[in-house]
Amino acid sequence: MTPKEKALQLVEKFKPLCGGYLGGKINKAFAKQCAIIAVEEILNFLNELFTEDYLSNLLEKQYWQQVKTEIENL
């Protein structure tokens, strides 16, 4: 999945929790902020993770940083 596809997927998953129930207006800004918080938690975990496979960890961090950037650009 590309970073842009993952960004869209995460925002869509949070939309129902941001006013989408009971006929409320969906607040896309809140959904984006929730998705960013989720991605930041992943990045924090990856920063704390000690791994012998440095390259794999680096690529994973780059992917999630790109996802965060794509969410911000939505």
The total number of structural domains that make up the chain: 1
Residue span of the structural domain in which 35 resides: 3-73
pLDDT above 60 (res 22): no
* pTM to 2 decimal places: 0.84
Q: List pLDDT tens digits, range 37-48.
A: 999 999 999 888
74: nearest Cα among 24, 10, 17, 21: 10
DSSP 25: P
Mean pLDDT computed over 54-60: 82
